[in-house]
Amino acid sequence: MAECPPGKEKHHKIPKSLGGSDDPCNIKCVTPEEHDRIHREGKRSGRTTTGKEVRY
């Protein structure tokens, strides 16, 4: 699993609940404020491990 520097949190680009993994390519290190904004706005999209496009 990817490690983030102090003061940053791990954010799954594709949530594990939608087939995302802990692979470093699916992890983005963000500040707590950025993480809150990402989840609050809910304007993410990506592809599951099977290639299906999802918006969440």
- Within a domain: 52: no
pLDDT in tens, the chain (56 residues): 678 999 999 999 888 888 889 999 999 999 999 999 888 887 666 676 677 776 65
The number of distinct structural domains making up the chain is: 1
Q: Are strands 45-47 and 27-30 parallel, antiparallel or unpaired?
A: unpaired
Query: What per-residue confidence (pLDDT) applies to 44?
Result: 65
Q: Please check whether residue 54 lies inside any domain of the structure.
A: no
The answer to whether position 32 is within a domain reads: yes
| Range(s) of the domain holding residue 24 | 1-44
Q: Is residue 51 part of a domain?
A: no
pLDDT of residue 43: 63
Q: How many CB atoms lie within 10 A of CB 2?
A: 12
Residue 6 lies in a domain: yes
| Contact status, residue 15 vs residue 55, Cβ threshold 8 Å | no
Question: What size, in residues, is the chain?
Answer: 56
Decide if 29 is inside a domain: yes
Report CA 7 to chain centroid distance, whole Å: 17
Contacts of 1 by beta carbon, 8 Å cutoff, 6+ apart? 10, 22, 24, 27
